[in-house]
């Protein structure tokens, strides 16, 4: 199920989950889904996601393996938070904790499910 090639579908899956994180967060704080607001909240984490993917590709990690998620997840959070500070957006401790937990669940969770699915598929072929 994993390969050394860069599966664009895996990047798209990560990006969709980061967008979902932003939309859920904005909705839970009654900030609405106006495009400018969503993009303002999204761009730091999208940039972090790109940095994480660059690290994965440079290090030659298999995608969509859990090990790739262990690079993508912290890069998305750390770069996202740094860019939020630089751009004058909030980084309250509670927000950082929620971000770490939710993005960790999202970005590692689908990879874990894909791994289980791959194992089950290999097991059923025996």
Compute the average pLDDT of residues 61-78.
Answer: 90
Look at 51 and 8; give whichever has higher pLDDT. Answer: 51
Looking at the predicted structure, is the pLDDT value of residue 100 above 60? Answer: yes
Residues 6+ apart with CB under 8 A from 13: 64, 110
Centre a 10 Å sphere on the Cβ of residue 17 and count the other Cβ atoms it contains. 19
């Amino acid at each position: 199920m994993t390969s050394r090639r860069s599966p664009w579908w895996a990047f798209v899956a990560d990006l969709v989950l980061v967008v979902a994180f932003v939309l859920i967060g904005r909705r839970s704080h009654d900030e609405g889904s106006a495009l400018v607001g969503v993009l303002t909240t999204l761009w730091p984490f999208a940039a972090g996601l790109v940095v994480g993917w660059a690290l994965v590709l440079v290090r030659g990690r298999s995608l969509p393996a859990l090990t790739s998620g262990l690079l993508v997840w912290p890069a998305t959070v750390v770069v996202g938070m740094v860019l939020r500070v630089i751009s004058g957006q909030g980084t309250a401790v509670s927000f950082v904790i929620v971000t770490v937990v939710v993005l960790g669940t999202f970005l590692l969770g689908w990879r874990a499910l894909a791994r289980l699915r791959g194992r089950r598929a290999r097991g059923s072929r025996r």
